[in-house]
Structure 1
Amino acid sequence: MHCWRSVSRSESVKRRKYVLDSYAVLAYLQAERGGAKVKDLLKEAKASDVQILLSVINLGEVLYVIERKLGYETAMNTLKDILRLPIQVAEVPLERVLAAAHIKAQYAIAYADTFAVALAQELEATIVTADPEFKRVESLVDILWLLGKDG
């Protein structure tokens, strides 16, 4: 099982890194458009030096969406499923909270999304998403668009 801890820059220097946003995780879990690309990245993570990360804030977003649609028990089963995947759940230290707050003050994107951006900036990772809001922060981070830039 993956642990809940801070991600240090030194442990992630050599690997290609991707940060999933909630859209990417939900697309994968619900076999929606774009989910196949996430599945491919997860296969790469198992087989190579690819590192997949998910902010605990974005994990919370995934879980509340699942609970709202399908109930608490399904959300808790989904959590177990996510924790079995080759995804490192990244805690949120104060420095990342401050970075996310700064991003939110500057850009019109959802607050939860700012945590994905801050994590990607910190680790020089690529965000994986199909959420068009991320177009607003393309100057800050690299983005792998699941459905193309225009969805």
Structure 2
Amino acid sequence: MSDLVVIVYPTLEKAEAVRSELLELQKEYLITLDDAVIATKTDDGKIKLHQMVNTTAAGAASGSFWGLLVGMIFLMPVVGVVIGAASGALGGLLADFGINDKFMKDLAESIQPGNAALFVLIREMTGDKVLEHMKGTGGVVLKTSLDNEKEAALRAAISGPAA
């Protein structure tokens, strides 16, 4: 079972730095992330999601490759690439994995314009070591599915002095 953690930071850059740190910790096998998305709110109130992976672009690239391959067999490579890219992009657009986009947009409505909410879906982690790296990163915990003890430890770590 995965745990959801949402932390609000004053800027997109700060949220991006924390997400990068978590991705580095993942390379060290200290944490396993299912998803890490940053939601920002513009001055006019629009919510923008900054996904780790653009599924539409990935689908288009994959579709282009397979479309080219099929198109070469039928001696119509250009048509194959176009059809493959379009169908791949559509498939990527419809593929929503990880944290539900509507949930993130609804929750991000509560943040101030210019702020960024970091949504992290954690499959597993070595809690004490991850919290040590999170010390002093700042931010405000908006929502978690952690138990009360772990949530208190997270709040103390991010508000405490940097490691």
Same fold (TM over 0.5): no
Larger gyration radius, structure 1 or structure 2: 2
Tell me which protein shows more helix as a share of its residues.
1
Q: By percentage of residues, which structure has more strand? A: 2
Coarse TM-score class (shorter-chain normalised): 0.3 to 0.5
Name the TM-score, length of structure 1 as normaliser: 0.33
- The answer to which structure, 1 or 2, has the higher relative contact order (CA under 8 A, 6+ apart) is 2
Q: TM-score scaled by structure 2?
A: 0.31
